[in-house]
């Protein structure tokens, strides 16, 4: 069985096609057989003008046609397609969803932050234990914070802070995040954080190049040091020195500042980076739903 997940974020759009491989004792593995990430950067239009402008819309429609062809070529049995923060805020978001369906037959659903977090939980479930942790998911246009206590998610909130949505240091959302996290930590003191999103995955990779002993975990000081190195050089230098794609070099510093801000408010020193996210949760959710209806 082959399943596909399309994730249209504020910075990039992705398709992942995975094959379900049965294992012993009824378990299964999701083997990735195709993955395409394209730096569509819808948020650059939306967070500036409130709409997805004509040139970007045409690019978006072409990309979705490519994704639809990939699904057909791989003879995928089931797919789901979700769009997040930028499409939520775009005045012409629903109009473009209709054009995508007319052109490709794909049903792209615009989801809110709560549903985004619920789907990501499908991928995170095997990394959640009895310890109290704060899950930080930084996207291009929003940051989702989730509190897990004794194996269960007990609180969740979405904030309009993201790596593409460039915020000034005095933006009210910083105080909103800090106040919410500190209030939660009074009742549920956190052991560590869990980080998801392309930028924390890249930070983990860069830190691991210098310190192989860290495993899945990196700490506040390591992230702070790396942020300083990235912030003090130009975009072009980041691309060369750290082997970053242009769109990653552009957003990695503001994303890093969000992770550090939340970790500081939560009083945690380490963050676990399992390198899973929305698209992985989508694949597992699809398989679970198919298993129930089979």
What CATH number should be reported for the domain holding residue 104?
3.30.420.40
Identify whether residues 87 and 159 lie together within a single domain. no
> pLDDT in tens for each of the 294 residues of the chain?
999 999 999 999 999 999 999 887 777 889 999 999 999 999 999 999 999 999 999 999 999 999 999 999 999 999 999 999 999 999 999 999 999 999 999 999 999 988 999 999 999 988 999 999 999 999 999 999 999 999 999 999 999 999 998 777 788 999 999 999 999 999 999 999 999 999 999 999 999 887 666 679 999 999 999 999 999 999 999 999 999 999 999 999 999 999 999 999 999 999 999 999 999 999 999 999 887 665
Of 111, 141, 171, at which residue does a domain stop? 111
Domain with 38, as residue range(s), is: 2-111
Identify whether residues 36 and 72 lie together within a single domain. yes
**165: in domain:** yes
Q: How many domains does the chain have?
A: 2
**35: in domain:** yes
What CATH number should be reported for the domain holding residue 136?
3.30.420.150
**284: in domain:** no
SS (H, E, C) the chain: CEEEEEEECCCCEEEEEEEEEECHHHCEEEEEEEEEEECCCHHHHHHHHCCCCHHHHHHHHHHHHHHHHHHHHCCCCEEEEEECHHHHHCCCHHHHHHHHHHHHCCCEEECCHHHHHHHHHHHHHHHCCCCCEEEEEECCCCEEEEEEECCEEEEEEEECCCCCCCCCCCCHHHHHHHHHHHHHHHHCCCCEEEEECHHHHHHHHHHHHHCHHHCCEEEHHHHHHHHHHHHCCCHHHHHHHCCCCHHHHHHHHHHHHHHHHHHHHHCCCEEECCCCCHHHHHHHHHHHHHHHHC
**116: in domain:** no
**287: in domain:** no
Identify whether residues 135 and 102 lie together within a single domain. no
Identify whether residues 41 and 175 lie together within a single domain. no
């Amino acid at each position: 069985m082959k399943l596909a997940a399309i994730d249209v974020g504020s910075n990039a759009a992705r398709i992942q096609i995975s094959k379900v491989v049965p294992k012993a004792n009824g378990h299964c593995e999701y083997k990735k057989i195709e993955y395409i990430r394209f730096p569509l950067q819808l948020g650059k239009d939306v967070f500036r003008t409130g709409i997805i402008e004509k040139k970007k819309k045409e690019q978006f429609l072409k990309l979705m046609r490519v994704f639809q062809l990939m699904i057909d070529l791989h003879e995928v049995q089931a797919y789901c397609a979700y769009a997040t923060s930028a499409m939520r805020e775009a005045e012409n978001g629903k109009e473009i969803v209709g054009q995508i369906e007319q052109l490709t037959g794909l049903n792209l659903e615009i989801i809110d932050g709560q549903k985004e977090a619920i789907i990501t939980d499908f991928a995170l479930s095997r990394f959640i234990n009895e310890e109290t942790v704060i899950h930080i998911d930084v996207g291009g246009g929003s940051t989702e914070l989730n509190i897990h206590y004794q194996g269960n998610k007990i609180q969740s909130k979405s904030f309009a802070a993201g790596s593409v949505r460039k915020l000034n240091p005095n933006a009210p959302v910083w105080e909103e995040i800090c106040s919410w996290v500190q209030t939660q930590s009074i009742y549920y003191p956190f052991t560590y954080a869990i980080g998801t999103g392309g930028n924390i995955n890249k930070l983990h990779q860069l830190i691991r190049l210098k310190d192989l002993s860290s495993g899945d975990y990196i700490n506040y000081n390591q992230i702070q040091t790396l942020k300083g190195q990235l912030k003090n050089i130009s975009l072009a230098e980041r691309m060369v020195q750290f082997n970053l794609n242009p769109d990653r070099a552009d957003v990695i510093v503001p994303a890093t500042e969000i992770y550090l801000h939340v970790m500081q408010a939560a009083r945690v020193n380490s963050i676990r980076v399992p390198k899973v996210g929305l698209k992985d949760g989508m694949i597992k959710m699809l398989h679970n739903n198919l298993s129930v209806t089979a």
